[in-house]
Chain A
Amino acid sequence: MKGLSINNISMRFDLKNGSSVQALKDVSLNIDEGQIITVLGPSGCGKTTLLNIIAGFLAPTEGKVVLNDQIVQGPGAERGMVFQQGALFEWMNVRSNVAFGPRMKGMSKAEQEEKVKHLLEIVGLADFEDKAVYELSGGMQQRVALARCLANDPDVILMDEPLGALDALTREKMQGLVLKLWKETGKTIILITHSVEEAVLLGERLLVLAPRPGRIHKEYELPFAEMGVNMDLREVKKADGYTETRDEILSIIWEMEEEIMGRAEDN
């Protein structure tokens, strides 16, 4: 079976003082190939833990992740990851960063070069090959990170708040770029974000996670990602249902946050 399936994942962290934290409880999810999914939730709900389990950086205490009929047992090149800023290799120029994955696969220099050129063009950084990473702006760095991830041609792209550190304008442009890449490459994308607006705009499916224990609270199927492929995102925001969906999800998150705060005050 093609696609990614997450089967009854639970994750418990045992703390040194003997107590334990249930970060995820019984999370199940099937994602078809080529879907873009956004994951939202208040802080501490286990979003990043879930992503790390899919990426193979963490082994779940229960359950399993299956990608294209193979159980995930560690990190692998078929699951690419885009991090928040700061995961690029500063000691390499843009070219070497993007070519890192192909180089690990043992691809020839000429092929690497061709791939880098092509991908940088797609992300809008043509002719930046020889620039040092630290000379680029935050938005440009994230474009490089996207290109680096795509260079490996992964089946699934995992994005851990990739646009979180960008300013509002750059962020909007980058959201458009994510949608464009999704459509052009047909990759499965799982994107974690703190921004409700971003989640609504980019997610074909939107998952809202609830905290303690981390679980799927609600799922939405949304049309806005498909719209955004051919339309300016500011226009998408004026589409029917956008504002309502956004406000509904916002109030859910608000409630959860309030509950967490209340619990903290009780303690």
Chain B
Amino acid sequence: MAILIFYIIIFVAAFYIVKIAASFTKSQDDFTSLKTVTFGDESAVSPNRAASIISVIAIFAIWAAFTGSKLIPIHVPGPFIGELTFNYTAMNSSGQTDDADVTITVYDVQSGVIPDKLDIEPGDGFALNDTDQIITYRSGLVKVQKNDVGGKDKSYKVVAVNGQEISPEQEVFIDNARIYMTKKGTLSVTPEKGWQMQPVWLPAPETVWSRLVKVGSEGYKNFTLWEHLGWSLIRVVVGFLAGAIIGIPLGYAMGLSGWFRGWFDPIVEFMRPVPPLALIPLVIIWFGIGEQGKIILLFLASLWIMTISARAGVSGVKISKIHAAYSLGASKWQIMRLVIVPNSLPEIFTGARVSMGVCWGTVVAAELVAAQKGAGMMIINASKFQMTDLVIMGIVLIGIIGYAIDILMRISENYLVPWKGK
């Protein structure tokens, strides 16, 4: 919740700051800036690059601020670390009361330094001073009565903390901690946790980076990082190519022959809406968890998409183009090769882009279920050991690779089918 509010504040503040900054350096030379009416005019909306940059920075800044990162100087309050002191008032079996001090050291176990037990004076009276240690983000039961004279008596009880009365199942707030009394009368101390995320939930950016460096050089689970990612990519490419090699001719056949269309329509239309992930259990039963099963799964994921896009490519041919080719003396085979195939390329490329995206998603999911190597296997394995930094690193790498695949497909599309959309 706090993060969302922070994010909205940054969003709004950045908008006004950029707007004010832009007003000093305003150039009136492009067409859009000369328009008087821009609201509702979609063509006047172009992404504000400053917004994109600030958006990325904001995500990292919030991430850093809420994880106590060293990358930025300002953080949201972290968990309390240091000495916590309070005193309590105990009443013994004869109704007398006495005070004693409690000193608790709250320390960060991640730092690797475990503080020594404090030496304290026991103090006077029947209630004696106590000391204890609590790890950050945890709470601890502090048995203050244990060392008190007569503390083991049933009727011996703590009646106040820092002068505030307390009884079982009630709580008292002191500086940097909350003290709760359990049913049995023991004090449970919860030091202030602050607003930061625990590393096990969300590690700091630099932790993720150092994990990347470490896994990049040492590998993870018998394979290097590049082998994990490379294997995922190889599976995608092989599965996609297999799907395209079968799917495209099948799509053409369905677009050109009534028998093929009639025969395969029910199969394609039935299989198309089945998410590839739903096939994972069956593929594992049939082909096991080895490479074969994964490639067949990806083949099935891309097959229907490629078939449908090739079929759409064929039915998208303008009849006047076919007629023109016929009246120029082309044979059926020449029409196929010189008109239908090139005309369907834009559709096929669109299909290939979708298919590659689906395959990438499917391979990661398949590796989550069972694999020896691969990006998905890496993160699911890391999550079992609560290595959140590795999980986040994996997710980021998977995202970057998926994005890179799409950009590559778009570049090759511009290069190979320049007439698309014209």
Contacts and interface: CB of A to CB of B under 8 A. Distances in A.
Interface stretch (A100-108, A167-175, A211-219, A253-261): A100-108
Main secondary structure of the interface of B (DSSP, over half): helix
A82 B370 CA distance: 60
A65 to B, nearest CB: 14
B146 interface: no
Contacts of A80: 327-328
A77 B328 contact: yes
A91 B328 contact: no
B204 to A, nearest CB: 52
Interface stretch (B88-96, B272-280, B316-324): B316-324
A74 B338 CA distance: 20
A133 interface: yes
A75 interface: yes
B288 interface: no
B320 A76 contact: no
Contacts of A152: 328-329
Interface residues of A, number: 31
B125 interface: no
Given A57-B323, A86-B320, A89-B339, A101 B422 contact: no
B419 A90 contact: yes
Interface string B118-137: 00000000000000000000
B327 A76 contact: yes
Contacts of B345: 91
Interface in B368-422: 417-419, 422
A104 B328 contact: yes
Interface residues of B, number: 22
B327 A55 contact: yes
A179 B343 CA distance: 33
B249 interface: no
Nearest to A85: B320
Nearest to A105: B329
B321 A91 contact: no
Interface in B342-361: 342-343, 345
A56 to B, nearest CB: 8
Contacts of A92: 342
A100 B321 contact: no
B419 A87 contact: no
A81 B327 contact: yes
Interface in A93-133: 100-101, 104-105, 132-133
Given A83-B320, A83-B323, A104-B334, A90 B422 contact: yes
Nearest to A79: B327
Given A86-B320, A89-B338, A77 B419 contact: no
A81 B419 contact: no
Contacts of A75: 323, 326-327
Nearest to A148: B328
Interface in A128-184: 132-134, 148-149, 152, 154, 158
Contacts of A134: 419, 422
B306 to A, nearest CB: 20
B312 interface: no
A114 B237 CA distance: 45
A84 interface: yes
Contacts of B329: 76-77, 101, 104-105, 152
B325 A100 contact: yes
A100 B328 contact: yes
Interface in A42-96: 55-57, 74-77, 79-81, 83-84, 86-92
A161 B328 CA distance: 18
A133 B419 contact: yes
Contacts of B323: 55, 57, 75, 81, 83, 87
Contacts of A89: 321, 338-339, 342-343
B336 interface: no
A87 B321 contact: yes
Contacts of A79: 327
B283 interface: no
A101 B330 CA distance: 8
Interface in B38-91: none
Nearest to B343: A91
Interface string B294-334: 00000000000000000000000010110111111111001
Contacts of B321: 86-87, 89
A132 B418 contact: yes
Given A77-B329, A104-B329, 20 more contacts: A56-B327, A57-B326, A79-B327, A81-B323, A81-B324, A83-B320, A84-B320, A86-B321, A87-B323, A87-B324, A89-B338, A90-B422, A91-B417, A100-B328, A105-B329, A132-B418, A133-B419, A149-B328, A152-B328, A158-B327
13 contacts: A56-B326, A75-B323, A76-B329, A77-B328, A80-B327, A86-B318, A89-B338, A89-B339, A90-B419, A91-B343, A101-B328, A133-B419, A134-B422
Interface of B: 318, 320-321, 323-331, 334, 338-339, 342-343, 345, 417-419, 422
Interface of A: 55-57, 74-77, 79-81, 83-84, 86-92, 100-101, 104-105, 132-134, 148-149, 152, 154, 158
Closest CB pairs A-B (n = 9): A77-B329, A75-B326, A90-B419, A134-B422, A91-B342, A87-B320, A101-B328, A104-B329, A83-B320
